[in-house]
Amino acid sequence: MSVPVNRRTALACLLPLALARGDAPPGAAEPWPGRTRLVRGARSLIFAHGAPGTGPAALREPALRELALRADVAAARVGAVLGRTVRPVVLVPASAAEAARLAGTGPLDGLAAVADGGRVIVVPGGFDRLTPTGRDVVLAHELTHVAAGTGGLPVWLSEGFADYVAYRDAGLAVPAAAAELAAEVRSGRAPRELPGPAAFAPGADRLAAAYQEAWLACRFIAARTGEARLVRLYREARAVGADRALTALGLPVATLTALWRTYVRDELG
Ligand SMILES: [Zn+2]
């Protein structure tokens, strides 16, 4: 079974995890000593749990080769925005439960991947159910967290930036990628404020729409000021705080919010 191209039903980032651990150095150590398979992409390293030919389909050779190719694509996309070479380390555990143990979190069932300590951890089951485009989007999103870090940022900026990178080259129309928010806008419920932390909690009512609001905020900033300035904003926000960085960009939060509301209506109305 595949889910719609829109990946929201299968992915929500584990916020505390991303915030707490997104800045850790790359972790390329062998995760399952003596039981690890390594598949090398052009830039990526894929570590899978188990011997060749064993375990679920996601751990078989063709799936791991495909994953390495997709991780390479994600690395190119993230590197193009950040302006540097990105080398993904992707872990493929044998089950969602094992993914949760690796990430040190609660259950990950229903999610597709998480960023953790410099690595992207694929969640078997959730990842497999995504369309090819959805897999590329998820990998680029999580790899952006790993490569750019998330500490010290409002959630809308860290998640919106990750989705900006993830959707930049995905070839999806905005109303399709932001289907839930588009439905709200068309029914007269356009957003008023940038989404706060509670909007991104796992299981939140409007989780999909919150991600889409954040994505469109970053997409708007890139459209108005240029992608390079969005990237600089992200870095400066981590250094001096988002409010100061946005003001320096000429978009203090109140101004940004007003302009973003118009942008959302224009893109989705
Ligand atoms: Zn995320």
Ligand 1 centre to CA of 129 (Å) is 18
Residue 170 has what pLDDT? 95
Judge whether 133 lies within some domain.
yes
Asked whether residue 193 falls in the same domain as residue 228, the answer is yes
Number of Cβ within 10 Å of residue 246's Cβ equals 21
Stretch 12-29: mean pLDDT, rounded?
A: 41
Number of Cβ within 10 Å of residue 67's Cβ equals 23
Q: Is the pLDDT of residue 250 over 60?
A: yes
Asked whether residue 110 falls in the same domain as residue 214, the answer is no
Residues whose CB falls within 8 Å of the CB of residue 79, separated by 6 or more in sequence, listed in order: 85, 86, 147
The CATH number given to whatever domain includes residue 18 is 3.40.30
Domain boundary among 117, 148, 179: 148
Domain boundary among 148, 172, 204: 148
Asked whether residue 36 falls in the same domain as residue 121, the answer is yes
Q: Is the pLDDT of residue 13 over 80?
A: no
d(CA 263, CA 267): 6
Ligand 1 centre to CA of 10 (Å) is 12
Judge whether 220 lies within some domain.
yes
**pLDDT tens digits for range 116-159:** 989 999 998 899 899 999 999 999 999 999 999 999 999 999 99
Domain boundary among 123, 148, 173: 148
Asked whether residue 98 falls in the same domain as residue 140, the answer is yes
Asked whether residue 24 falls in the same domain as residue 130, the answer is yes
Judge whether 199 lies within some domain.
yes
d(CA 269, CA 189): 10
Judge whether 1 lies within some domain.
no
**pLDDT tens digits for range 34-86:** 788 899 999 999 999 976 666 667 778 899 999 999 999 999 999 999 999 99
Ligand 1 centre to CA of 111 (Å) is 11
- Predicted TM-score (pTM) above 0.85: yes
CA-nearest of 47, 44, 46 to 72 is: 44
- Looking at per-residue pLDDT, the higher value among 229 and 30 belongs to 229
DSSP state of 59: G
Ligand 1 centre to CA of 162 (Å) is 6
**Range with lowest mean pLDDT among 57-61, 82-86, 105-109, 207-211:** 57-61
Judge whether 2 lies within some domain.
no
Asked whether residue 183 falls in the same domain as residue 241, the answer is yes
DSSP state of 143: H
Ligand 1 centre to CA of 14 (Å) is 7
For the chain, what is the domain count? 2
Range of the domain at 205: 155-268
CA 7 from chain centre, in angstroms, equals: 10
Asked whether residue 126 falls in the same domain as residue 172, the answer is no
